[in-house]
Amino acid sequence: MKKLLLTILLVLPLSLFAQETSTKDSLSIVQQVEQWYDANMNYTNITLLMTIESSFIPFPSEIVIPPAAYVASKPESHLNIFLVVFFGTLGAIIGGLINYFLAFWLGRPIIYKFADSKLGHVCLLSSEKIKKAEDYFNDHGKVSTFIGRLVPGIRQLISIPAGLAKMNLGSFILFTTLGAGIWNTILAFIGYLAHGQADLINKYNHELSIIMLVLVGLAAIWFITKALIKRKK
């Protein structure tokens, strides 16, 4: 839910603050976003962003792979959709290795202490989340580094318990590659499908902006209410 909210918050400002004009030469919000990705997205950036996404820094892959695949689906694009998946998966492996080795070298006490620190909270970490990922790893074994890559809330953190358990590095890389590869393929397919619906999305751009605004409002109310209830307890 937090990742969905973050994604909406990153997209919403474009919808709210982009100037609307009635001339034929004006660009829709979808076209503006597409042009930005077309000009700025390359394989190096994809790898870097997915490395960040797979480390302990909160960053949603949903705003990296689908738009990149969307751009790659255009004729004569400088991106190739298969390479988008490849470099996205490469970034996921690097980010996973960062978590793995940090946990491997620092150990459980320091990792849990960092998760409950102010910096850890900025990264949306907590000892409860680390414990949840560790329990998931203990319950499912080494294969959890594969399955966990497809589970929201576990995906980025599953590398930490693998490092704490000093899982075999070769097995860790293999399972992480398979899980991240499947996840990025799904996201790329979504971006590919969205390209075929570009005209429809553009046609109902205003309505989509309103829907996103309502979703952000509801999500904000939900988080505030949850925080107040937790504070009273």
Per-residue pLDDT of the chain in tens (233 residues, 90 and over written 9): 444 444 444 444 444 344 344 433 445 555 666 677 778 889 999 999 999 888 877 677 778 888 888 888 888 888 899 999 999 999 999 999 999 999 889 888 888 888 888 877 777 777 888 888 888 788 877 788 888 787 776 777 888 888 888 889 999 999 999 989 998 998 888 888 876 565 555 555 555 556 656 666 776 677 677 767 766 66
* DSSP conformational letter for 9: H
Q: Domain spans of the chain?
A: 30-196, 198-233
User: Would you say the C-alpha torsion 7, 11, 12, 13 has a positive or negative sign?
Assistant: positive
C-alpha triplet 154, 160, 161: angle, nearest 5°: 85
What is the token pair recorded at 192? 């590919």
Instruction: Tell me the three-class secondary structure of 94-138, residue by residue.
Output: HHHHHHHHHHHHHCHHHHHHHHCCHHHHHCCCCHHHHHHHHHHHH
Find where tokens 């991240």 sit: 180
CA atoms within 13 A on the CB side of 80: 4
